[in-house]
Amino acid sequence: MPDEEMVSLLKETMGLEQIVGKDLAFLKEINKIPLVANCDAGVLILGETGTGKELCARAIHYLGPRSGKPFVPINCGAIPTELVENELFGHVKGAFTGACKSYPGLIYETDGGTLFLDEIDCLPLQAQVKLLRFLQDKEYRQLGSTNVNQADVRVIAASNLNLEKGISEGKFRQDLFYRLNIIPLALPPLRDRKGDIIPLAKHFLGKYASELKKPIKEITLEALQKLLAYDWPGNVRELENVVQRAVIFSHHAVIQGGHITLPHANRSPLEETFQAQKARVIAEFEKNYIQNLLRVHQGNISQAARFAQKNRRAFWELMRKHEIYVPDFRSNIWNLDNHPS
C-alpha cells in the first residue's frame, strides 16, 4: 500500500486526524512513519512540547504489526525518581516495606505492544542502566526477585531536550542514546511551519464545533491574522486549546478576532498598516538601542552618544522622546549630569 494511502487509513481508523500539515520539514518526518512502523528498530522522537510526539508514536504503533497489542504511554518526568524502576519493571511481594502484593510492571503489561517513554531525559541513571539491558536482551528482573523475565516490547522514546547535551553533562547514558536513536524523528515547532497554522486551526474548528454541537463553520481574516502573528511557544497543543476556547465562548456562526485570546500577545502586526508597523519597530529599536548603550556606559551620555556617532544634543532628544532616564543606568547618581551641553 502506498505511503499516502497508509497515512490516510491511519487517520480514518485510529482517529489520528491531528496529523495535519503540508510543511516540507514536517512531512519529511511524517512520511517516515509507515516505513518505521514495520521495523522494530529503536525510535527517538525529538521536538518541543506540544509538537505531537505522542501522536507520532501512536501512529508508528498502529501502522505496524503490533497494532493489536497495547500501546502504553508513560511520562518519565511525572513519576517520582524512587518509583520509576518499580513502575517499569514491577516488584514481587515483600520486595520493600509496604509491598503487600506483587506488581507486574508496565513492561509486563505491554508485552507484544509498544511502550512510549516520553521525557526520557528525566529517567534516573540507574533506571537507564536497567532499560538499556532490557533493550539489548529483552530480559529484566522485578524488584526483589532473582528470576529473569522476558518480554517482547517495542520501546519508542521522546524528549523535548537536547540529549547529546545531557550526555556531555553526565545526565544521560551515551550507550542508551545510541540504542534509542537508531531512527530519529525531529518534529519542527509550529513557528517554523507557519503555513500549517490555518489548516490546523480549521481542523480544530471543525472538531470542536462538532463535539460542542455549535453551528460554527468559518473563521474571519482578522482571527486568522492573530493566529499567524503569534509565536506559539506551546505549539500545536496550544493552538488546539486556543481554537477550542474560541468555539466554547463564541455565540456566532463565525469565529471573530475577538474570540481569539492569546497569552502575552501584543497587537498583531498584521492588524497594522505597513507604515504603522514600520514606525513601531523603529521606535522599539531606538529605545532598546539607547537603553543598552546607557547600560554599557553606566549612564554616561557623552560616551554613549559618541559610540552611537550622534551629537550629545540629538542623543538627549532621543532619550527624552522615549522617556529614558539616566538614573536607571548610572550607579553614581550624586555625580549625575543629565542635561545636554
DSSP 79-126: S-GGGHHHHHH-B-TTSSTT--S-B--HHHHTTTSEEEEETGGGS-HH
**The CA-based dihedral angle spanning residues 73, 76, 79, 85, taken in that order and rounded to the nearest 10 degrees:** 90
User: Is 309 in the same domain as 326?
Assistant: yes
Q: What is the CATH number of the domain that holds 143?
A: 3.40.50.300
Domain boundary among 150, 166, 188: 188
18-12-53 Cα angle (round to 5)? 35
The answer on 199 and 145 residing in a single domain is: no
Q: Which residues form the domain of 225?
A: 191-269
Which residue reads 534516573 in cell numbers? 124
Give the chain's domain count.
3
Answer whether residue 254 is part of any domain: yes
Which domain-ending residue is among 160, 188, 216? Answer: 188
34 and 147 belong to one structural domain: yes
Are 165 and 280 in a shared domain? Answer: no
Total Cβ atoms within 10 A of residue 334: 5
Whether 58 and 170 map to the same domain: the answer is yes
Which has the closest alpha carbon to 315: 332, 300, 330? 300
For CA atoms 85, 90, 94, 99, give the dihedral sign: positive
Residue 341 lies in a domain: no
Q: Which residues contact 136 (CB under 8 A, 6 or more apart)?
A: 179
- Please indicate, yes or no, whether residues 159 and 56 belong to a single structural domain of this protein: yes
Asked if 235 and 290 sit in the same domain, the reply is: no
Q: Are residues 219 and 282 in the same domain?
A: no
Share the mean pLDDT of the chain. Answer: 86
Residue 176 forms part of a structural domain: yes
19 within domain boundaries:
yes
Q: CATH code at 257?
A: 1.10.8.60
**Residues 46, 106 within the same domain:** yes
Residue 312 in domain: yes
pTM exceeds cut of 0.85: no
User: Of 129, 154, 188, at which residue does a domain stop?
Assistant: 188
- Domain identity same for 42 and 142: yes
Q: Is residue 340 part of a domain?
A: no
Is residue 100 domain-shared with residue 23, that is, in the same domain? yes
Same domain, 170 and 201: no
Residues of the chain with pLDDT under 50: 1-2, 15, 331-341
pLDDT at 195: 87
Looking at residue 1, its pLDDT comes to: 47
